[in-house]
Amino acid sequence: MTWQLQEAKNRFSEVVDRALSDGPQTITRHGRATVVIVAAGQYARETRREKLSTVLRECPVKGWTISRDKDPGRTIGFQ
């Protein structure tokens, strides 16, 4: 559903209720979509980020392994 900003301000409680029951609610300003109100649970699901290591471990490519190099790197000496 799309709401004009002034209408959304006047009926904010209804906008929130609809976001919870019907899904995202778009707010427009001067005829352009400006913001979207979504339920907190939906927002959390859509913005959840996984660690890169987790994504790589769960990679579906056969034969893919992840390992860590034991080399501590190089030493830097000061003269």
Torsion angles phi and psi, residue 35, rounded to 5:
-140, 165
Question: What is the structure's pLDDT at 5?
Answer: 97
Q: Where are the domains of the chain?
A: 2-57
The structure's pTM equals 0.61
Question: What is the structure's pLDDT at 79?
Answer: 66
In order along the chain (79 residues), what is the average pLDDT of each group of 10 residues? 97 98 97 97 88 79 75 78
Question: What is the structure's pLDDT at 68?
Answer: 76
Total count of residues recorded for the chain? 79
Fold of 2-57: YefM-like fold (3.40.1620)
Cβ-based neighbour number of residue 18 at 10 Å: 16
Give the closest residue to 15 by CA, choosing from 39, 34, 43.
39
CA dihedral of 44, 46, 50, 56, whole degrees rounded to 10: 160
Q: What is the DSSP letter of 30?
A: T
